[in-house]
């Protein structure tokens, strides 16, 4: 949107504070560990491919006719690799918010350690970000803080830990460790507008409860934290721009699932999904967000579709040799 609201947000970013959320959110976070945490790569012991499409605030009309609803598309893949004692993963997303477009690509490595009944992943990732800006209507003409078209790209990094067992998963990660500095042409003419990629932290967890022989109930939580400024700054852990989510879903025979969720001060979420194919490897899910709070600045609903495929668990590449004593003497 070319409205003054986004211009104001840009000004706050240039002033050194974080944008409320510089990264997209997904209601299928319980199925999207590779996006949240590099340590997730390969931790389940089998490969996964996941795609997500999100249309946020469907039908939202901005202050001007060139606004619109944010749209996000994501592809991630994860694979265990025994030869390196862990797993590798990739995640790519495209996020469009009015006059801002973000393309993000991540490649991750996770080292796996046996801990109790599960495995602990310790992961690192390399990040490539490409940001492009359109034309904004600045409140003050020639405001050097407001970008005017152009694009910039930078490399960054992230790290995380993830624990996974049959019943429990929990992960903590931080990205944008380098706090890359993106520069754009500005409304001021000849002066460069600046946007800092602030640190984002994610904590996610879930616990599988056997309600019966065929039904698993899984409570989940997700906390997303924006940490503006450098490490050591007094307000680094002020946590003024946080997002919290909690939910629960029930899964029948690893084939059908449904769930409910709550995103603090924004929405209630409904989830429905089912699995197909051999070993229920192919999964389809739909999420509906009812925007219950602050509707004046948003819209009635958001919609999200997930499609994922779980590869078969790796086995022996060749059959073991059968030895005979026929030629032993």
| Full set of structural domains in the chain with CATH | 25-311 (2.40.160.40)
Say if CB 207 and CB 166 are below 8 A apart.
Answer: no
Say if CB 177 and CB 135 are below 8 A apart.
Answer: no
* Number of other CB atoms surrounding residue 311 within 10 Å: 14
Say if CB 28 and CB 157 are below 8 A apart.
Answer: no
Spatial separation of the C-alpha atoms in residues 34 and 25, rounded to whole Å? 13
Spatial separation of the C-alpha atoms in residues 300 and 59, rounded to whole Å? 8
State the residue for tokens 């973000």.
102
Using alpha carbons only, give the angle 104, 108, 111 rounded to the nearest 5 degrees. Answer: 160
* Mean pLDDT of each 10-residue bin along the chain, 329 residues long: 34 35 88 97 97 86 65 96 96 90 97 97 98 80 78 96 97 96 80 86 97 96 92 77 94 96 94 95 96 74 95 66 47
pTM: 0.85
What burial class does residue 230 get, using C-beta atoms within 10 Å of its C-beta: 0-12 exposed, 13-18 middle, 19+ buried? exposed
Say if CB 22 and CB 226 are below 8 A apart.
Answer: yes
Per-residue pLDDT, 4: 33
Which one, of 98, 104, 59, 74, lies nearest residue 305 by Cα? 74
What burial class does residue 245 get, using C-beta atoms within 10 Å of its C-beta: 0-12 exposed, 13-18 middle, 19+ buried? buried
Helix (H, G, I), strand (E, B), or coil: what is residue 6? helix
H helix intervals, the chain: 4-14, 33-36
Spatial separation of the C-alpha atoms in residues 94 and 96, rounded to whole Å? 7
- Which two structure tokens, joined as six digits, stand for 131? 């940001």
DSSP 135: B
What burial class does residue 15 get, using C-beta atoms within 10 Å of its C-beta: 0-12 exposed, 13-18 middle, 19+ buried? exposed
* Number of other CB atoms surrounding residue 82 within 10 Å: 11
Spatial separation of the C-alpha atoms in residues 288 and 302, rounded to whole Å? 6
Per-residue pLDDT, 142: 74
- Which two structure tokens, joined as six digits, stand for 67? 């606004």
Per-residue pLDDT, 298: 67
- Which two structure tokens, joined as six digits, stand for 89? 């993963």
Say if CB 55 and CB 71 are below 8 A apart.
Answer: yes
Residues 6+ apart with CB under 8 A from 46: 80, 310, 311, 312, 313, 314
Which one, of 188, 174, 128, lies nearest residue 152 by Cα? 128
Per-residue pLDDT, 314: 76
Per-residue pLDDT, 131: 93
Strand partners, 274: 256, 284
């Amino acid at each position: 949107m070319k409205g003054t609201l986004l211009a104001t947000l840009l000004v706050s970013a240039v002033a050194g504070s974080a944008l409320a959320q510089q990264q997209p959110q997904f209601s299928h976070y319980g199925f999207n560990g590779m996006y949240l945490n590099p340590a997730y790569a390969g931790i389940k012991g089998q490969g996964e491919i996941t795609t997500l499409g999100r249309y946020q605030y469907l039908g939202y009309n901005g202050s001007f006719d060139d606004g619109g609803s944010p749209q996000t598309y994501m592809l991630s893949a994860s694979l265990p690799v025994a030869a390196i004692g862990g797993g590798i993963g990739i995640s790519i997303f495209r996020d469009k918010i009015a006059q801002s477009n973000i393309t993000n690509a991540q490649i991750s490595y996770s080292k796996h350690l046996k801990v109790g009944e599960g495995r602990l992943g310790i992961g690192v990732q390399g990040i490539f970000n490409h940001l492009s800006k359109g034309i904004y209507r600045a409140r003050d003409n020639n405001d050097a803080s407001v970008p005017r078209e152009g694009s910039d790209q930078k490399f960054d990094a992230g790290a995380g830990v993830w624990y996974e067992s049959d019943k429990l998963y929990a992960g903590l990660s931080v990205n944008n460790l380098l706090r890359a500095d993106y520069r754009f042409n500005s409304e001021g003419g000849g002066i460069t507008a600046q946007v800092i990629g602030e640190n984002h932290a994610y904590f996610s967890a879930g616990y599988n409860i056997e309600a019966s022989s065929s039904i698993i109930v899984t409570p989940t939580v997700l906390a997303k934290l924006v940490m503006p400024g450098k490490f050591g700054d007094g307000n680094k852990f002020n946590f003024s721009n946080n997002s919290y989510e909690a939910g629960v879903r029930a899964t029948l025979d690893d084939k059908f699932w449904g769930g409910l969720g709550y995103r603090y001060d924004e929405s209630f979420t409904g989830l429905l999904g089912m699995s197909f194919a051999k070993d229920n490897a192919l999964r389809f899910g739909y999420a509906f967000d009812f925007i219950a709070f602050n509707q004046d600045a948003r819209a009635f609903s958001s919609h999200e579709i997930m499609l994922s495929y779980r590869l078969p668990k790796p086995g022996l590449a060749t059959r073991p040799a059968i030895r005979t004593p026929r030629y032993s003497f």
